[in-house]
Structure formats: structure tokens, C-alpha cells
Amino acid sequence: MQVAGISAVVTGAASGLGAATARALADAGAAVVGLDLAAGWERAPLTDAAGGGDTPGATDRTAAPGRVLPVAGDVREPDDVAAAVAAATGSGSPLRIAVNCAGVATPGRVLSRRGVHDLDQFARVVGINLIGTFNVVRLCAEAMAATDPVDDEGQRGLVVNTASVAAFDGQIGQAAYSASKGGVAAMTLPLARDLAGSGIRVMTIAPGILDTPMMAGITEEFRTALAATVQFPRRFGRPDEYAALVLAFAAQDYLNGEVVRLDGGLRMPPR
């Protein structure tokens, strides 16, 4: 599927994987709508259609990459996601790609010195990572299904969701995160089967240790130790490598219903 001339919705687009993906899709010629809850995101200035790179004068948490329309919203809220979908369909280009990068990773043991795991915290992680992902999928798929197919096989769109290696190798303190990402991985094939009749493919990326804002608070010593657990290459992955995989999925029409680990062969230890 060609990226140029289509529109796309990317969640979590204010930073990390979402920002890199939004930029890559825009650079490939898509009209990109970025949905994010970041403060000030909806006020981020836009560069003109010929511009490139980050918006001048804005921070990583609020900057819309060049040619990306920022929409403020919560992936759990149907009205917020509907607004992003409307912005994409109203761009004059058919909505063909949706990429779910919004997510949180709040650690917590089931039992610890501080007591039992907070149930609201568990529900929040699952709500954002799993229910929010499904909310975006269903509303974007509805808009994609209403478009004309791009080929004789009836192809109309691509959905890319983000799981994690924690879906398979969850560590101590990751019960909520692993449950949410395990759900994302598990619904990949059912979503692909549900949407096959509409010509919409569904793929999931399960990143390992990627250099995103989630990792910004750890020490250099801990970063080195984490990188050493990767088989090869022994380093953190880059957000642009995630974005490149999204573009590869778009280019390869026969990829569907699969979870792809982007982790350098990493298998996480218990802690």
C-alpha cells in the first residue's frame, strides 16, 4: 500500500515511538493526525507543507513534527478519538493507516511493603494500553471501511498496534503492564479476522528496550546493564527503527495478523 496521498492517525504522537512514526509517515507523503494527551499538544504550531523536522521552539513533549496535525485527546474517550478520525478524513485524503503508540508503564507488585497492588492503578494501565487501543482500532476501522479499495484485492487500510516483550516475558512488578500488552498481542489475530472482509490488515509490534521518554529517568549504569541483556546489537532500540517497521508493514501487503518482536533477541529476566 502506498503511503503518499493517504491520511493516518497516530496516537501517543507527542513523543517517543509515536512522534517518530508520525514524522516518518509525514515524510513519506501522508497527511498525519497525531492524538496525544500531552499538555499544550493541541496548541503546538504547525510548519507549512514544505517544512520538515520538529516544530521550531516547541519541546519534545508538545511538538508536532512537521506536517502533523496535533489533536489533544485521550485514547479511552470515544469523542476524542472520533475527533482525530474526523480530522484525518477531513484532510482530503482517505484514512488508510492507524498506529497505536499511546501507553503507560506503571510498575507495582501484587504484594509489597507498601501493601496490596492498587486496583485503580491496574485498571488505568489496562484502560489506556488495551481498551484505549481497541477504541482507536474500532473507530479508525469504521472510517477505513467506508473508503474505496486501493486495489483489485479490496485493500483499504492497515492498523498497527503496540504490545511489548512484557506480553511474553513480564518481569516482577509488571502484572498490570504485561496484562495490558498481552491483551494487545492476543487480539491481533481476531482483529485481523474481523476486519479481513473490509480489506483492513492488523499487525502488532512488540518492542523490547527502546530509547523513549519512558527510559529517560534511569541511570547510565542501569542503561548499560539493560543493554547488555540484548542478544545483538547490544544497545537500546531507536524510535526510528519502530517507525521504519511500520512503513515496512505498509509496503508488504501479505503481512497480516502477526506480532513482530522488535527487541534484538532480548528475553527479559524476572527482574
H/E element holding 7?
Answer: strand 7-11
**CB crowding 37-50: b at 16 or more within 10 Å, else e:** bbeebeebeebeee
Contact 132, 74 (CB under 8 A): yes
Instruction: Report residue 187 CA to chain centroid gap.
Output: 15
Q: Are strands 200-207 and 258-262 parallel, antiparallel or unpaired?
A: parallel
- How far separated are the first and last CA of the chain, in Å rounded? 41
Residue 12 to residues 20, 48, 173, Cα–Cα distance (Å): 10, 22, 23
Active-site annotation holds for 177: yes
Is the preceding peptide bond at 233 cis, omega within 30 degrees of 0? yes
Q: Which of 32, 64, 143, 177 is catalytic?
A: 177
Task: Describe the strand order of the beta sheet including 258-262 as a list of residue ranges.
Answer: 68-72, 31-36, 7-11, 95-100, 157-162, 200-207, 258-262
H/E element holding 111?
Answer: strand 111-112
Catalytic residues: 177
